Every structure is written in structure tokens, then in C-alpha cells.
Chains A and B, each alone.
Chain A
Amino acid sequence: MSLTARSVTIHFGGLVAVDAMDLDAIPPEIIGLIGPNGAGKTTFLNCISGIYRPTGGSVLWNGEELVGQAPHVLLGRGIARTFQSITSLHDLSVLDVVKLGADMRGDLSVGDRMRSLFLSEKALDEELTEMLLRPLRLADVAHTPIQTLSYGHRKAVDLARALAAHPMLLLLDEPVAGLTSQEGMAMAGVIRSVRDRFGCAVVMVEHKMDVVMDTCERIVVMAAGAKIFAGSPAEVQSSAEVRRVYLGEPS
């Protein structure tokens, strides 16, 4: 079970947004992907989550090529991701969104699916609330339309949705951006406990250095589309190279 991205490259017109990027991720490690604005972190994430099709390189997950596959196929293979900007999604409630996520699990058989169509709503709701919403402190708002929730809550819902698909690789796009310092630390704790519980690998793109240093076991630094450094948090913090390219945000 591993992710092996090699020489991933993507052009937009004449601009090279990601330049021969490599990344490895083996469950259950938590990897941080950091770099200055415009370094191509989210773009790279899009390349390995089926949103963009890279112009070059390969992304192998358990030996199978991911490049060119749509997001729903990747979900079926166990790769889920969260998003920075979360749309309101009409009147759907928290549970609705999470149920949609749960529906995308790759490990459901046809029989399971048929059964879920007729299963009592209440039983399903309770199960999902206990398993996913309670750890994320969303149990109280399970039936609330997400468009009325705060940004922090909506991010948590997005995470719950991704988790509902039982991923083995979780790609997080700035999970603590826009959260208060307290909320951010709580989210970091949640990410760690999720990893502990599910045993999945986590790759998180993030700017808040304190969260990254605290949560990640390995950090990859990107600048101008390419990988410029990789190492443990301590190594990254003491690297002159990293400091030169990227003045980290204050803790």
C-alpha cells in the first residue's frame, strides 16, 4: 500500500506549474507539503487526486497508475481529498453530505449498495454520527444544512465526507486555513486520531507552520513547482535552503 509519484509535471499554457515532482507516501505516515504561495502545492495535489491530468510523470498507488483517472475512480481505490473552498451544496445537511461520501467507498459490494437503498434511515444516520461526526464534534449539527454552518464546521464536514469513504490515503488541502488557533490545534488532533484509527497515510498541504511541525512526521518543501527539500520537521527547521526560499509563517 503506497503512493509513488514520479516526475509529475503539469503545464498551463506556457507556465510550468509543477515541475518533475516526486512524492512517496506509505500508510500510516503523515506528510506535510509546504512551500511559499504559488509553489504549486495545491496544483500537485490536484494532479494526484484526479482533478487535473498531469502532462507528464506517473502516479502509482499500489502499483496501479492513477494518471487520467477521474476522482470517483480514485475514491473507489481508497484515495480521498478535502477542499479549501467548500460550496454550500444547496440544502443538504451534514448527514446528507457524509452519506454521499460513505456511498463512495471502494469496499462496498453490490449487495451492500442494494441493501443500503432500503435500510432504515435512522439506523444509518446513527451509525455515521457515532463513527464520524462525534469525533469531529459535529454530532449536534448532524441534521443542519451545511450552508448555515460556520466555515470551521464546514471544513470539518468536508473532512467527515472524505473519511466516510474509508480512504487509505487522505489528501488534505489546507485543513486549518481560516480556523482560529484553537480550532486549528483541535483539527490537528483530529487528523492525528483519524490516522491512528484508520491507519491511512495523510498528505497535507498547509501554511500554518506550528500545525505542520507538530503533526507531520515527514515534510516535503516545494518552491516554483519543484521539490527542494524533504526531511523531518527538525531537519526542515534547521535547513538554510528552506529558510532562504521560504520564510515560514510565525508559529
Chain B
Amino acid sequence: MSARSLVLAIAVTAVMVAVSLVVGRFQAYLITIVAIASIGALALNLLIGACGQISLAQGALLGVGAYAAGNFGNAGLDVFSIVAAGLTAALISALIGLPALRLRGLYFAIASLAAQAILEYLFKTIEPLTHGISGLVIKPMTLFGVPLVTDQGYAALSLVILLITWLFMVWVMRTNIGRAFLVVRESEIVARGMGLDVARTKMYAFLISGFFVGVAGALMGFTNRLANPEAFGLQLSVDYVAMIIVGGIGSWGGSIIGAAFVVLLPELIQRLGEALNIPNILSALREMAFGLLIIIFLIFEPRGLVALIRRLTLKVTGSNAANVGQKDRLEPQSANRRR
């Protein structure tokens, strides 16, 4: 990432943080949920978009992050509960990947499905840690002793963590680990023949992705002050998959756009429904929209909204503006220098 992009990213984040500290509760809440979803989407994009491993366990892993953060936070770990939650989720993510490590990618998808089911069960039954069906009450996070209680505060925190996540992802893709991800994604057989340790590469993907999902889950837990099993089901997993498909697999910027889209769409439809007076169709409409979007995007524009935007800008303004999205593309920096 060039110095210019870095400064830009930090500047944008700083502005957003300032904004989030002064807006009202509802706007701050929206910023928070978009930021949290973005972190989760970036993490999933690393797994699916960069390394080609489809996972349906996102929902449960977010839950792991939330429950872990709740327990660590209630135990007084302060802001480090977020890191601890990330590490817990990373560990669980590695465990999920373990059975399918030497098997084809499709088996990992199935294993993740099993993991989602098993974890949901554990959320409901391991009462001492999760308080079962009634849910775990999570005390507000303390930042070096000071409790964080405002929506604005969490919005700011989430934005900062989003920036850190983004920077990390961009950095990883510049290293040999990132390059290895891309080769494994292309073909595990080619990767193996080339001499890459495919199992180890996949493990890195599981661990890194899991960590950031855990972080996102932790933020969810603190923001909602509650973690309960229903919130972390398969539906959530599929929502995240929708985020990266709609935003564009293999594009960091796309993940954020996709996250914003998926998270804000229900709000939009809610407003629409209230305005037009048709409350019942709402949730059905949202799901229909998702289903259709996933299908349509995958068939016609697998690179998602980002590519769509790029194509439209190309048509309207000419080639220069189209490069805006290019910097986010999940490719090693050296290939960009050709331009």
C-alpha cells in the first residue's frame, strides 16, 4: 500500500471517528453495525476470496467471539477481551478446519456446516459459559478502567478496529503467506505440486480469518450487551457470504461495501415498508432480495458491486476514474505497478 493510500485511509477513519462522536444514537448505532460487519466481511473475504475456502460457520464464530468477550470482559480483562476473543475464535476456527485440512475445499464447506450446528448446540448447552438460551449478559467494555457506555464510543472504537483490520489484510496479501493463499485458491493441486505446504497455508487462513471474526463478534457482544444463541445461526453465516458476494469476492473495498449493503438494506426496507404501509412482506422481501442478488451477482458479475461500479465509471467517465477501485483489488502490489 502506498504511503498516499495509507494516509488517505487514516484520514478517512479519523473523519469518520469524529463524525461518529457527534451524531445521534441511532446514526452511531448504524455506523457501529456497518463497521462490525465490515470487519467480519474482511475476515471472511480472506478465507473465501483470497484462499478459496468456503465457510458457513461465520455466524457461530461471531458467537464465539461474543461469548468469549463477554466472559473475558466480565472477568475484568478490559479492552484486551477483544484480543482474547479473537484468539479464542482463531483457535476454534483452526479446529473447524482441521478435519478438512488435507481434503478438497468442498469438504471444508461441509465441515464448516457441521461446526455451525455443533457450536449452536454448545451455545445452548454450556450454561456456565453461555447461560444457555436466555443468553449471556455482557457488561460494557472497559477501556483501561473507563467503561464505554455510549453508542458513539462504540462506533469510534469499531471504526478504529476496522482500520487496523484493513491495514492488516492489505499487508498480509503482500507477504508470501498472501501469495500462497492465491495459489491455493487457484488450485490446491498446483499449489502442492509447486511445493507449497497447502495444509499450513490453509491453517494460516483459518487462524487469521478466525481471529478477526472473533474480534467482530466481540464488538457485537459489547455493543448489544447480550449474546444469545439465536443471533448466531446459519442465517448470519449466509448473510456474511452474501456480503462478500455482493461486494465482490477478492476486493477489500468490496467487502466493506457489501457489508454496508447487507446491513443497511433491512433498515431501508423497514423505512420503505412503513412509508408504504406494508409491514408483513418486509422480512420476506429482504430475504428475496438477498437470494436474488446472490444468484444474479454470481452468474453475471462475480466480482460484485466493486466491479459493477468500475464498469459503470468506465462507461461514463473514461478509464482514469475506473482505477479507483483497482487499488483495493486482492492482488499483490507488484502487479499494480504495471499501471
Contacts and interface: CB of A to CB of B under 8 A. Distances in A.
The answer to whether A and B touch directly, with their CB atoms under 8 angstroms apart, is yes
Interface of A: 51, 70-72, 74-75, 80, 83, 87-93, 95-97, 99-101, 103-104, 116-117, 121, 125, 143-145, 161, 165
Interface stretch (B70-78, B187-195, B212-220, B226-234): B187-195
Given A125-B334, A143-B335, A75 B186 contact: no
Given A72-B195, A91-B182, 5 more contacts: A51-B192, A51-B193, A72-B197, A74-B195, A143-B334
A127 to B, nearest CB: 14
Given A90-B186, A121-B174, A99 B193 contact: no
Contacts of B331: 90-92
A87 B187 contact: yes
B135 interface: no
Given A91-B331, A92-B179, A93-B332, A80 B195 contact: yes
Contacts of B195: 71-72, 74-75, 80, 101, 104, 165
Interface string B160-186: 000000000000001110011011011
Interface in B286-339: 329, 331-335, 337-338
B273 to A, nearest CB: 43
B196 interface: yes
27 contacts: A51-B192, A51-B193, A71-B195, A72-B195, A72-B198, A83-B193, A87-B186, A87-B190, A89-B182, A90-B182, A90-B183, A90-B331, A92-B182, A92-B332, A92-B335, A93-B335, A95-B334, A96-B335, A99-B176, A100-B183, A103-B180, A117-B175, A117-B176, A121-B334, A143-B335, A144-B338, A145-B338
A70 B334 contact: no
Contacts of B174: 121
Contacts of A125: 334
A104 B335 contact: no
A197 B197 CA distance: 28
Contact of A100 (B176, B187, B333): B176
A72 B201 CA distance: 12
Contacts of B193: 51, 71, 83
A68 B100 CA distance: 20
A96 B179 contact: yes
A104 B198 CA distance: 12
Given A71-B192, A72-B197, A99 B337 contact: no
Contacts of B175: 117
Contacts of B179: 92, 96-97, 99-100
A217 B186 CA distance: 38
Contacts of B182: 89-92
A89 B174 CA distance: 16
A125 B332 CA distance: 13
B282 to A, nearest CB: 41
A100 B194 contact: yes
Contacts of B180: 100, 103
Given A71-B195, A103-B176, A92 B333 contact: no
A96 B334 contact: yes
Contacts of A70: 192, 197
Interface in B80-129: none
A144 to B, nearest CB: 6
A159 B35 CA distance: 45
A101 B195 CA distance: 8
Q: Which of B175, B194, B197, B334 has its CB near the most chain A CB atoms (within 10 A)?
A: B194
Contact of A104 (B190, B196, B333, B338): B196
Contacts of B335: 91-93, 96, 143, 145
